Amino acid sequence: MKKHFSIFLVLVSLLTLPVVALADAVVGDQVVTLGENLTEEQKKALLSEMEAPEGVEIITVTNEEEHTYLGDYIPKAQIGSKAISSSIITIAEPEAGLQVKANNITWVTEDMYTNALITAGVKDATIYITAPFQVSGTAALTGLLKAYELSSDQVIPEDVKKVANEEMVKTAELGDKLGTEQAAALMALIKEEIAKNAPQTDADLRAIIEAAAAELGLTLTEEDINSLIALFNKMKELNIDWNQVGEQLNIAKEKLTTFLQSEEGQTFLTRLQDFIASVFDAIRALFS
């Protein structure tokens, strides 16, 4: 579980990007982040894997920084004691969207990264996260945070960083129970509906959450629903650009469509249909 929880720093640094940084940056600009505890040989290997150009700006990430960003959410023992994961960010053309790829990163999926980044208003960048062996990914996220703060004088407010990190944690936890693709799709559908029709009450939020779960054939516990209501209530109180969220969710919707059309997605839907059919058969048997 230690490497599972510590992965969130890769997300946290991305989420702390100043939104204006991507708008002001030059297309093709790159920043590399390297974990402090990599050996020199590992650093050279990762730079080669990333195809980082000579002279690219490199930022070092420490484990202490990881604890700074995750200490309020995750026990210190679970964050770990070494900064290993690394990343490279490339600024893309306007309206290109987010492209996230990961190697040797566990638990949190690329879709989960993309979905939480949308909440923070991040867009138009290619992101590659990697490590010399399987790790959580915390150092990479912390590094991305440093990289973007270095390139802009503006930062996303601390409360927005925290709620975006909380969203990632919640999505990954739901992924353990529902499936990673399903959990990411659920969060995307909820946010899409919030962007279209802003909920005014907890009852409105509950209706949105339950409808999204039903659309995907997912079963949420009362604890899950209440936790999501609390999370999205926090988002409602923040200065999040929901119009921007709605636009960027097209990325997540495309991934959702891909999942539902995939062999795994079709198997998921078939099992759901079979389950529903068995329920109706059981009901008929009661009255026969």
- Spatial CA neighbour of 184 closest among 245, 259, 272: 259
- Indicate the angle between helix axes 222-236 and 202-216, nearest 10 degrees: 120
116 CB-side CA count, 13 A: 32
- Spatial CA neighbour of 140 closest among 88, 92, 67: 88
Q: pLDDT digit string (tens) for 11-59?
A: 444 444 444 344 456 888 888 989 999 999 999 999 999 999 999 999 8
What pLDDT does residue 168 have?
79
Between 65 and 194, residue with greater pLDDT: 194
Q: pLDDT digit string (tens) for 121-170?
A: 677 888 898 999 998 765 566 676 566 555 544 576 778 777 777 787 78
- Spatial CA neighbour of 250 closest among 94, 97, 101: 97
> What are 33's strand-pairing partners?
59, 87
Beta strands per DSSP E along the chain:
30-35, 57-61, 86-91, 98-102, 125-130
